[in-house]
Copies of this chain bind each other. A is one copy, B any other.
C-alpha cells in the first residue's frame, strides 16, 4: 500500500516550499523484486547469514529503493507526469531495513519559469531518522 501527501499546486508553475510525499513499507518481497529487476544480488540485501556479519547485523534494502520512491513522488505527484528527469543526487545517511516504513518527500527549492527547470530537495525518512537526502532537477515542458 502506498500513502502520500501533496500540497496544492498552483494553476501554472511552482512555488518554493511546495511539497509532496509517498510512504511505503519495505517488504521482503519488494527487496527480492528489486534484486531481480536491477541484478543487484549483493548478499547484504538477500542473505540473512551474510548480513549478520556486517555492521548493520541484518539485511538492508537496496539504496536505489530510496531513489525509486523519490522517482515515484516526482513522476506521479510533484511535478507529475510529463516532466523530464535531468539529474538526481543522493547521500545515503542511514540504513533502511526490511519492514521499515519509508517516506520519500520532495520540496521545491527553485523554479525557473523561463527555462522550465524545477529544483527539489529530496529526502527519505524512516520515522524521524533521515536515511537519504539529495537534490533533483527536472524539465517541466
Contact B87 A91, beta carbon cutoff 8 Å = yes
Does more than half of chain A's interface fall in helix, strand or loop, or is it mixed? mixed
B76→A85 contact, CB < 8 A: no
Whole-angstrom distance between the Cβ of A43 and the nearest chain B Cβ: 6
Q: Which of A8-16, A60-68, A105-113, A122-130 contacts B (4 or more CB under 8 A)?
A: A60-68
Q: How many copies does the complex hold?
A: 2
- Per the bound structure, the CA–CA distance linking A63 and B80 in Å amounts to 14
Q: Which residue of B lies closest to A43 (CB)?
A: B81
List chain A positions with a Cβ less than 8 A from chain B: 2, 22, 24, 30, 33-34, 36-45, 50, 54-55, 62-65, 67-69, 71-72, 75-76, 80-82, 84-92, 134, 141
